[in-house]
Chains A and B, each alone.
Chain A
Amino acid sequence: MPTIGQWALGLGQAAALLLLAPLVSGFCRVLRAKIHTRTGPGVLQDYRDILKLLKRQEVLPAGAGIVFRATPFVLMASLLLIATALPVLTLASPIEPVGNLFTFIYLLALVRFFFALSGIDSGNAFAGIGASREATMGALMEPVLVLALFVAALLAGSTDLGRISVSFSSLAGGSIGAQAAVIAAVAFAAFVEMGKVPYDMAEAEQELQDGPLTEYSGPGLALLKWSVGLKQVVMAAILIGVFLPYGAPASASIGGMAFAALAFMVKLVVVLVIVGVIENGAARSRFFLTSRATWAGFGIASLALVFYLVGL
């Protein structure tokens, strides 16, 4: 059972990431605007959007039921739960019973389940297609994510995210090749799960009018946009916190955590810049050709397994 301090750390971490999420999506938008050589809205625009939407009237589609209305809450709750357990500010996971590799994968599955279900429940055709694509992307990314994380766990000797982070914090953890391949595979998986172009399948702004988000309005839309942003932050945090944990302290000291927070922000900015450059340099891939890329990702993960078995 976690201590009071760990609870505080976990919940505080979740709150911080929650508050950070609109800033992150704002940063990505500013980056895109700069790359397009235009000015665009400011970094804080998403905060203003969310506050505005919270005050707007909610218009529900005629056939929608309780699943449609409950989804934003379920999504945010699940993502916050993941956020409490990530080893962001320390090498260990704040709430160890939740910070397990398979728990993480299946909490993401919970998010995907309700997101897709709400798409169908809204009764909107675009939302339905978006839901189908969301579920398909999940099926395509699952092998990559499972295998990569599994190899990472094997390298660490445990399925606890904190212990994996400890093992990756020192490069001399044995199989360099496997570690590098794992990081590459997880990075690819995080990129796809963030929903960035060219894998912006479910929301597909130009194609599907935001997919499952179509019929949401008012507070529901606010929470859902926030949750989508939070998911992007969480995926980035997984990559940074578990696999690139340089700068995070082993024990929870205030000074250490402050330094870790700073290191996290720096790494986050670096990751977002890389992501932004890739995102804005590519067009959305054709949906049925996505599998080529995901199988390539699976190939990298398999390479990690081979490296691990061989001991490279």
Chain B
Amino acid sequence: MPLGLFALSIGLYTVSAVASLAVSERTGGRIAAIGAVLGALAGMGAAAPVLADGQAVAVTLAGPFPFASFALRLDGLAALMVATIALVSAAAALFGITYAQEEYAGRGVGVMGFFMNLFVAAMMMVAVADNALWFIVFFELMSLASFFLVTFEQDAEAIGAGWLYFVIAHAGSMLVLIAFLLLFAVTGSLDFAAFRGAAVPASTASIVFLLALFGFGAKAGMIPLHVWLPRAHPAAPSHASALLSGVMVKIGAFGIIRVGVEFLGARVLWWGLLVLAFGAVSTLLGVAYALMQHDLKRLLAYHTVENIGIILMGIGIGMVGIASGQSSLAVIGFLAALYHLVNHAVFKSLLFLGAGAVITRIGSKDMGRMGGLLRAMPWTAVAFLIGALAICALPPLNGFVSEWFTYQSLFIAALHGSALVRLAAPLSAVMLGIAGALAAMCFVKAFGVTFAGEARSEPAKAATEVSWPMLAGMGLLAASCILLGIGAPIMAPLVGGVASSLVGGSTTAVADGVLVFPGDPAIGELSTPLIAILLIGLAGVPLLITALFAARRPRRRSSAVWACGYLPDAQMHVSAGGFAEPIRVLFRPLYGVRSRAARGLAAAADRFAAVPGGAARAEELWDRLLLAPIGRGVQAAGEQLQVLQGGDFRVYCLYIVAALIVLLAVVTV
């Protein structure tokens, strides 16, 4: 049944994709959106039973290729990915019903719908593919479909961003291909079923792991392979950016788990520590660079790098747990990573959709031209605020729960781990903490400069709220943020089940009633429903206090902002750059890394510029040094031989006689 629903889901996506090409633009966009929403519902329906009972379903069909069967497997991890993809796709599709028509009318709305649906279908197929060939096929198809979305604007920046994106994605998938083929050489089959638990020699296993880490890490946007992300995600249409940032980079994390944990068993300690290290660095540098942006979508893109870092930290701890035999630690680590995967998908897409709504009204991505939108676009502002609170991991929303679990996993690792782990885990926790504070600062800036204060440009002054489908898409995700946060006692066991299946089915309790805890309540407890109720309830105290004196107060009035006696001016408002300036000064070494790297790349590019000239010179060498001498030599030899044909008839007779004599001599001898 789940596979039937899954097939229906893929069918809906692909058929609506093709159909949207065939009809007029408006209808095409609508068909694609409706097909996506229906497909998403089918996808959720397929994923739910697998998540609920933890039983994987698989099917193997004979494909056209004799060396690779078309194998699919919907297990817990795949179901979690499919559900996440479906949720974000539904929200993006709802948003896109009017967004695509407003922004891109006349530029191929139907084509956009085609590529969006194809993109989503490819991602879902990657999650369930159980054969190396088909995995790579859908992995690349995913990059191909999203390439056309990234370059949709067809201006120089979008095309450049798309080129960088696709090249890095393709290089990454080549690395993954090498990893798979090394496993193929060991096991003799391309099926993942053969890869799982194959007896791979240790050195090969490490090489396969490193290849997979960098190959999938490039897709995930792990530092230092993240350079495509801040250019590609802003260039795409906003609902496509939501899918790119929200879901596609998670496929990278998913791939690392598949190869590192499922195929290779994560039995070496330094693998987990390496992933943890890359995660911590990505977290810190991602948020540091995000703080410096004044382009709203680039800011969000850098935050994706940060959050991928957090997911990688969780994966790293999980792998450390498996390698050191602490299955409970491993489950908590993977729980944190997977929960954050789902949470980030939801709140990052929400933020991108909100950004898209704002950019539609303002006509520019520059935060300096926004402002005063809190009153003009109240629902968008509330949705964006919920997303901002979630990404800053503020209680009681979903981001807090997954970061709480990440901290707890780092704590448990530091409590019982080996010496290296006991040093690495607290340091990672510190980096996560700094990143959390910087992220809060960044989103105070992002929300504040974008929505709050006075309008700073004409479009900002004239802005109005967006249409209801766009609000519906954002609302769906905002509601999910709240539910995933308050519903932690329900979500945690669900995700914990998937995490347990990765660690060989060990059972670790993570929830009890309204509490969640990392395996053992004595280590720490959390209750988001309780926090939510208490916050709302305790807010009644100040409300009561003010209400007591309401009768004696005159009515509230409004007045100009105090500017030391001067008339207030829109220029006096804090700007995006000004707000983040202290961090740029105080954390200068962090920003120095990027400029040094850029100088290195520029030097390499200069040296590359000499290659075409050299190649052009080499091209004509062959004619000059090889063919021309041969031609001249043959010509010269011919001219020498020409002497024989003197023209004198009597010399020819002499030749005939000489030939006869030689022939007679040869025959007699």
Taking the nearest CB of chain A, how far is it from the CB of B608, in angstroms? 39
Decide if A143 touches B422 in the complex (CB within 8 Å): no
Chain B interface: which of A30-38, A147-155, A251-259, A267-275?
A: A147-155
Decide if A74 touches B538 in the complex (CB within 8 Å): no
Chain B interface: which of A131-139, A167-175, A192-200, A236-244?
A: A131-139
A141 to B430, CA, bound (A): 11
A63 to B372, CA, bound (A): 7
A192 to B561, CA, bound (A): 29
By a CB distance below 8 angstroms, the chain A residues around B451 are 65
Decide if B574 touches A125 in the complex (CB within 8 Å): yes
A105 to B546, CA, bound (A): 28
Query: What 0/1 readout, one digit per residue, does chain B (431-450) give for beta carbons within 8 Å of chain A?
Result: 01110111011011101110
Decide if A219 touches B555 in the complex (CB within 8 Å): no
Query: What 0/1 readout, one digit per residue, does chain A (43-57) give for beta carbons within 8 Å of chain B?
Result: 000000000001111
Q: Knowing A113-B389, A138-B441 are in contact, say whether A143-B430 is a contact too (CB < 8 A).
A: yes
Decide if A159 touches B523 in the complex (CB within 8 Å): yes
Taking the nearest CB of chain B, how far is it from the CB of A240, in angstroms? 22
Residue from the list A14, A117, A142, A287 in contact with B444, Cβ < 8 A: A117
Decide if A136 touches B582 in the complex (CB within 8 Å): yes
Write the chain A residue with the least CB distance to B381: A65
By a CB distance below 8 angstroms, the chain A residues around B385 are 67
**Does B573 touch A at the CB level, under 8 Å?**
yes
By a CB distance below 8 angstroms, the chain A residues around B415 are 154, 157
Decide if B441 touches A120 in the complex (CB within 8 Å): no
Taking the nearest CB of chain B, how far is it from the CB of A147, in angstroms? 5
A81 to B539, CA, bound (A): 10
Residue from the list A61, A98, A305 in contact with B534, Cβ < 8 A: A98
Interface hits, B367-414 → A, CB 8 Å: 372, 374-375, 378, 381, 385, 389, 392-395, 400, 403-404, 407-408, 411, 414
By a CB distance below 8 angstroms, the chain A residues around B375 are 65
**Does B452 touch A at the CB level, under 8 Å?**
yes
Query: What 0/1 readout, one digit per residue, does chain B (344-385) give for beta carbons within 8 Å of chain A?
Result: 000000000000000000000000000010110010010001
**Does A122 touch B at the CB level, under 8 Å?**
yes
By a CB distance below 8 angstroms, the chain A residues around B513 are 1
By a CB distance below 8 angstroms, the chain B residues around A153 are 411
**Does B586 touch A at the CB level, under 8 Å?**
yes
By a CB distance below 8 angstroms, the chain B residues around A122 are 453, 561
Taking the nearest CB of chain A, how far is it from the CB of B105, in angstroms? 32
Decide if B452 touches A120 in the complex (CB within 8 Å): yes
By a CB distance below 8 angstroms, the chain B residues around A76 are 538-539, 541-542
**Does A121 touch B at the CB level, under 8 Å?**
yes
By a CB distance below 8 angstroms, the chain A residues around B430 are 143, 146-147, 150
A280 to B370, CA, bound (A): 43
Q: Knowing A123-B573, A139-B583 are in contact, say whether A73-B542 is a contact too (CB < 8 A).
A: yes
A68 to B554, CA, bound (A): 19
A206 to B432, CA, bound (A): 34
Interface hits, A76-111 → B, CB 8 Å: 76-78, 80-81, 84, 95-98, 100-103, 105-107, 109-110
Decide if A106 touches B395 in the complex (CB within 8 Å): yes
Residue from the list B378, B411, B527 in contact with A154, Cβ < 8 A: B411
**Does A129 touch B at the CB level, under 8 Å?**
yes
**Does B553 touch A at the CB level, under 8 Å?**
yes
Decide if A135 touches B441 in the complex (CB within 8 Å): yes
By a CB distance below 8 angstroms, the chain A residues around B583 are 136, 139
Taking the nearest CB of chain B, how far is it from the CB of A269, in angstroms? 26
By a CB distance below 8 angstroms, the chain B residues around A140 are 586
By a CB distance below 8 angstroms, the chain B residues around A288 are 582, 585-586
Taking the nearest CB of chain B, how far is it from the CB of A149, in angstroms? 9
Q: Knowing A63-B372, A117-B447, A131-B574 are in contact, say whether A214-B562 is a contact too (CB < 8 A).
A: yes
**Does A215 touch B at the CB level, under 8 Å?**
yes
A102 to B336, CA, bound (A): 14
By a CB distance below 8 angstroms, the chain A residues around B453 are 63, 120-123
Q: Knowing A55-B552, A81-B534, A136-B583 are in contact, say whether A112-B526 is a contact too (CB < 8 A).
A: no
Taking the nearest CB of chain A, how far is it from the CB of B455, in angstroms? 8
Q: Knowing A63-B454, A123-B561, A159-B524 are in contact, say whether A58-B556 is a contact too (CB < 8 A).
A: yes
Query: What 0/1 readout, one digit per residue, does chain B (530-541) give for beta carbons within 8 Å of chain A?
Result: 110011101101
Query: What 0/1 readout, one digit per residue, does chain B (222-256) give for beta carbons within 8 Å of chain A?
Result: 00000000000000000000000000000000000
A204 to B385, CA, bound (A): 28
A18 to B381, CA, bound (A): 32
Taking the nearest CB of chain A, how far is it from the CB of B641, in angstroms? 89
Specify the main secondary structure of chain B where it touches its partner: helix
Decide if A131 touches B444 in the complex (CB within 8 Å): yes
Decide if A123 touches B408 in the complex (CB within 8 Å): no
Decide if A77 touches B392 in the complex (CB within 8 Å): no
Decide if A142 touches B434 in the complex (CB within 8 Å): yes
Taking the nearest CB of chain B, how far is it from the CB of A13, in angstroms? 13
Write the chain B residue with the least CB distance to A115: B444
Residue from A112, A151, A219 whose CB has the most chain B CB atoms within 10 Å: A219
Taking the nearest CB of chain B, how far is it from the CB of A128, in angstroms? 3
A58 to B550, CA, bound (A): 11
Taking the nearest CB of chain B, how far is it from the CB of A91, in angstroms? 15
**Does A60 touch B at the CB level, under 8 Å?**
yes
A218 to B538, CA, bound (A): 21
**What total of chain B residues lie within 8 Å of the partner, measured CB to CB?**
90
By a CB distance below 8 angstroms, the chain B residues around A185 are none
Decide if A55 touches B395 in the complex (CB within 8 Å): no
Q: Knowing A1-B515, A107-B395, A135-B440 are in contact, say whether A142-B448 is a contact too (CB < 8 A).
A: no
A109 to B595, CA, bound (A): 31
Q: Knowing A159-B408, A218-B553 are in contact, say whether A121-B558 is a contact too (CB < 8 A).
A: no
Write the chain B residue with the least CB distance to A125: B572
Taking the nearest CB of chain A, how far is it from the CB of B586, in angstroms? 5
A106 to B538, CA, bound (A): 17
By a CB distance below 8 angstroms, the chain B residues around A56 are 553
Residue from the list B394, B542, B563 in contact with A124, Cβ < 8 A: B563
**Does B160 touch A at the CB level, under 8 Å?**
no
Q: Knowing A103-B531, A117-B448 are in contact, say whether A54-B573 is a contact too (CB < 8 A).
A: no
Residue from the list B447, B527, B585 in contact with A98, Cβ < 8 A: B527
A73 to B441, CA, bound (A): 21
Residue from the list A60, A100, A132, A305 in contact with B558, Cβ < 8 A: A60
Q: Knowing A54-B545, A74-B539, A288-B586 are in contact, say whether A106-B561 is a contact too (CB < 8 A).
A: no
By a CB distance below 8 angstroms, the chain A residues around B543 are 73
Decide if B549 touches A158 in the complex (CB within 8 Å): no
**Does B61 touch A at the CB level, under 8 Å?**
no
Taking the nearest CB of chain B, how far is it from the CB of A206, in angstroms? 14
Decide if A97 touches B525 in the complex (CB within 8 Å): yes
By a CB distance below 8 angstroms, the chain B residues around A58 are 553, 556-557
Taking the nearest CB of chain B, how far is it from the CB of A10, in angstroms? 9
A155 to B443, CA, bound (A): 34
**Does A225 touch B at the CB level, under 8 Å?**
no
Residue from the list B436, B445, B538, B549 in contact with A109, Cβ < 8 A: B436
Decide if B523 touches A73 in the complex (CB within 8 Å): no
**Does B36 touch A at the CB level, under 8 Å?**
no
Decide if A128 touches B557 in the complex (CB within 8 Å): no
A121 to B634, CA, bound (A): 88
A160 to B520, CA, bound (A): 12
Decide if B572 touches A110 in the complex (CB within 8 Å): no
A73 to B547, CA, bound (A): 12
Write the chain A residue with the least CB distance to B551: A55
**Does A145 touch B at the CB level, under 8 Å?**
yes
**Does A190 touch B at the CB level, under 8 Å?**
no
Q: Knowing A57-B553, A73-B543, A135-B444 are in contact, say whether A110-B523 is a contact too (CB < 8 A).
A: no
What would be 30 A-B contacts, judged by CB atoms less than 8 Å apart? A54-B553, A61-B559, A61-B561, A74-B539, A76-B541, A81-B531, A95-B530, A96-B525, A97-B515, A97-B526, A116-B440, A121-B453, A123-B568, A123-B573, A124-B562, A125-B563, A128-B578, A131-B448, A135-B579, A136-B583, A139-B438, A139-B441, A139-B583, A146-B429, A147-B429, A153-B411, A154-B415, A154-B426, A159-B408, A209-B562
What 4 pairs across the A-B complex have the smallest Cβ distances?
A: A128-B574, A120-B448, A146-B433, A97-B527
